[in-house]
Structures are given as C-alpha cells and as structure tokens.
Amino acid sequence: MNRFTSALRALVAASLVAPLGLLAATPKTAPVPAAAAVAPAPSSLPQPPEIAARNYLVMDMTSNQILAQKDIDAPVEQASLTKLMTAYLVFDALRTKKITLTQTFPVSVRAWKMPGSRMFIDPKMQVPVDDLIKGMIVQSGNDAAMALAEGVGGTEEHFVQMMNDQAKALGMNSTTYKNPDGLTEPGHLTTARDLATLATRLRRDFPEYAYYDAIKKYHYAGTPPSNDTNRNGLLFRDPTVDGLKTGHTDAAGYCLIATARRDFPNVPGRRMLTVVLGTTSEAARLNESQKLLNWGYTAYEDIKLFGASQPAVTPSVWKGKENTLKLGRPEGIVVSVPVGGAAKIKTQVVRPDPLVAPFVKGQQVGTLKVSLGDQPLTDVPLVVLESVDQAGILGRAWDAIRLWIK
C-alpha cells in the first residue's frame, strides 16, 4: 500500500466524523441571542438629555441596540417591575394550556393580606385568570400577583423558584427573585440591563398578550371603583406608548419601563424601550421616560440592511449536500444610526473557516459587525437560514481531499 492510498483512506475515515479544529458548532434549538449593543465612545454619537434617575436605559427594540445608558449593571431593587416575570410565567402557562383565561383561582388569606398596591380581592372570591392579570398589570395588585403565583406554581415558594429558573434561561444573570410581587426583601435584586432583557423577551415571546399592558382602566366587580386607573401615566399622555409597567417602593424609588411604537417610512412599527429607575416622584418617572423615548426616536434612525430571511452572506460549505450556507436573521437585520449617518455604515462578517456540514436552521454561525465609520456600533449574530445536511460518503471524501490540498 503506497503513501497516497494510506493518506486517502485516512481522509475518508476522517470525513465520516465531525472534524476537530474545523467548525462543528452544536445545533441550537433555543432562539439565537439578539444583537448585543457595543458601547460607543461618548464623543462620537448623539448625547442623551440629562435624566434625573439613578439608572436608565433607552433601547431600540427593532434593532436591539442600546442607544444610551447609565449604570445599567448596578444592582437595584425591583419593586413592582417584578410582576413582569410573574406575567411571563403566567403567559407561558396559558400558551402551554396548563391554565386558561376563563379558569378561576381562589384567593388565599396570604394573597388577601398582601400590603401595598392591591386589586382588593378577598377569600370569598373565585377570580378568573384574565381578571387577575388585569389586576396585576393595570392596578399593580400585589394580591393579584400572589393569587396568580399560587395558582400557577401551587405555592409562592415554588413559583419563586420558577421565576429564578426562567431568569437564568433568559440570561438575566444579575437577577434574583424572592417573591412574585416586588415587595422589598433582602436579595430581591435586578439590573436595568436584565429588566430590558425581560421586557424585550416578554414582547417577543408573547405578542398575543401585549394588549394587557396598554389597558388604561380596569375595575373588577366588588372592588373599589376608584382603583381603576393604570399607574403608567404615559398611556394617557402619548398615544404611541403601549406599555409596560410601573414600580415603586421606598428602596427602589419611582420606576417605569415604557414601550412605544411609531411608524417611519423606512421602518414601519419602530419600537423603543426605556427603563427608568430610582426617580423621586410619579411625575419624574413619566417625564424622564418621555424624554428618553422622544430623544431615541429623533436622534437615531433605523436602517434596514437585510430583509426577513434574506441572506447577509452565502459562504461556501464543505462536506454538505449544498455548496453554500445562507446566513442572516429570520426577522431581518436593522441597525440604528445617528440621523443622517446611513452613508457611514460599514459591515464585516466574522465567521469560522472552513465551514463543514452539517448545519441546522437557527444555528449561530458567525457575526455581522456593524460600525459607523471606524466606530463600532453593534454586533449581530448570524444564523443558518436553511439547514445543510451532510453529503454522502463520496462527497465527504472528495471534500476531505480538497481541504487537505487547501
């Protein structure tokens, strides 16, 4: 047996297994992480207005870029912003048909005696899930949050464990829950960044329930009619605002996560998110949130680089049934740039090479790096748009020889 034959057999054998040192990324079944914003140099991009808050963040939800921020990784008290995670788990239980909106939950003595803001339900009532959600979101009812937690989790303690498990699954690595309502408790902490992650996933994962956040008034029979107004005053001030949640305790200050949707010719339905924490009054949290929303929409514009499921790049693939691999984003790729800055956009694709099949749809393979001139702007994870299976033995053997020669 000559040296060439030995080498050929070795290459054929190697072609039947995943190559070490080449790209052999693990297929992902979970959603690929959204684009992570790169913190720009302060002098190079528009500067936000002065914001009277301990922590804040404004993010373009369409591009997934953070446009301005202050101390977004500092630990903070959550107050009733906690209820967004309670809502997330309730919506998940609804989608998986573990509960229904018309199903009624009992009101325990524990729920009835909850302090702070309330829906004013009592143990004589059997309350539909739909009404409990409205009571928790519109009236910020701690009693409603507890009734939902006990109804979905069996006990408050088990539900809190579910909250912490979900936080880890969403990548909220700086968040710890101690209760489902947000009352001050040692260790019950989060960050502005984690809250933005939760708000974004709540909108993205459960769009069918987003209408709850925009309800301006709600009253449950048998409770005080005067307790019917949504605490989010921006719903009454700005017609483009459609959420999301207020919070207040002495430790947390006055807080608000706000979402808005405004139409623009190039990007209809452009979404903006603000997280404002630790202000001194109800009026301050509304004013500072409004300032950030307006600034985000006017200082930046969204540019669509690639449409939904449009490949951003189609590199060659080895040992596959197809010759190329389509990489992009299923929702398309949009970037936020300072108004008038579209001509300065530069892009660069960073990916492993060579690319060796198989590849599964949704698998992350590389990154689109976007810059404004020489200033890094954002990194967009690129995913496989169409699966590429492994080729047969002969196809893999041939590509193994070509890679060897290469």
Per-residue confidence (pLDDT) for residue 266, from 0 to 100: 85
d(CA 104, CA 82): 23
Structural domain boundaries in the chain = 3-30+307-405, 55-300
Least confident of 22-26, 328-332, 339-343: 22-26
Any idea which residues carry the catalytic annotation? 80, 83, 140
Per-residue confidence (pLDDT) for residue 31, from 0 to 100: 46
First to last CA, the chain: 24
pTM of the entire predicted model: 0.87
- Output phi, psi for 318, to 5 deg: -105, 150
Rounded to the nearest 10°, the torsion over CA 139, 110, 123, 78 is 10
CB 206 within 8 A of CB 115: no
Mean pLDDT of the 129-157 span: 98
Mean pLDDT of the 268-282 span: 97
Task: Examine the pLDDT at 86 and tell me if it is beyond 80.
Answer: yes
pLDDT tens-place string over residues 21-65: 222 233 333 444 454 444 444 457 899 999 999 999 999 999 999
Mean pLDDT of the 5-15 span: 33
Give the percent of the chain with pLDDT over 70: 87
DSSP 240-277: TEEEEEEEEETTTEEEEEEEEEE--SSSTTEEEEEEEE
pLDDT tens-place string over residues 170-191: 999 999 999 999 999 999 999 9
Per-residue confidence (pLDDT) for residue 395, from 0 to 100: 66
Task: Examine the pLDDT at 400 and tell me if it is beyond 70.
Answer: yes
Q: Is the peptide bond before 244 cis (omega within 30 degrees of 0)?
A: yes
Per-residue confidence (pLDDT) for residue 44, from 0 to 100: 74
Which numeric CATH code is attached to 3-30+307-405? 2.60.410.10
Mean pLDDT of the 273-291 span: 98
Mean pLDDT of the 1-20 span: 33
Per-residue confidence (pLDDT) for residue 64, from 0 to 100: 95
Per-residue confidence (pLDDT) for residue 43, from 0 to 100: 53
Task: Examine the pLDDT at 167 and tell me if it is beyond 90.
Answer: yes
Per-residue confidence (pLDDT) for residue 249, from 0 to 100: 97
pLDDT tens-place string over residues 351-372: 999 999 999 999 999 999 999 9
Task: Examine the pLDDT at 147 and tell me if it is beyond 70.
Answer: yes
Per-residue confidence (pLDDT) for residue 226, from 0 to 100: 87
CB 118 within 8 A of CB 139: yes
Burial class (CB in 10 A: 0-12, 13-18, 19+), 255: buried
CB 201 within 8 A of CB 256: no
Which numeric CATH code is attached to 55-300? 3.40.710.10
pLDDT tens-place string over residues 234-265: 999 999 999 999 999 999 999 999 999 999 98
Per-residue confidence (pLDDT) for residue 391, from 0 to 100: 81
Task: Examine the pLDDT at 103 and tell me if it is beyond 80.
Answer: yes
Per-residue confidence (pLDDT) for residue 13, from 0 to 100: 32
pLDDT tens-place string over residues 114-134: 999 999 999 999 999 999 999
Mean pLDDT of the 69-91 span: 98
How much is the mean pLDDT over the chain? 89
Task: Examine the pLDDT at 12 and tell me if it is beyond 80.
Answer: no
d(CA 164, CA 253): 23
Per-residue confidence (pLDDT) for residue 406, from 0 to 100: 65
Task: Examine the pLDDT at 326 and tell me if it is beyond 50.
Answer: yes
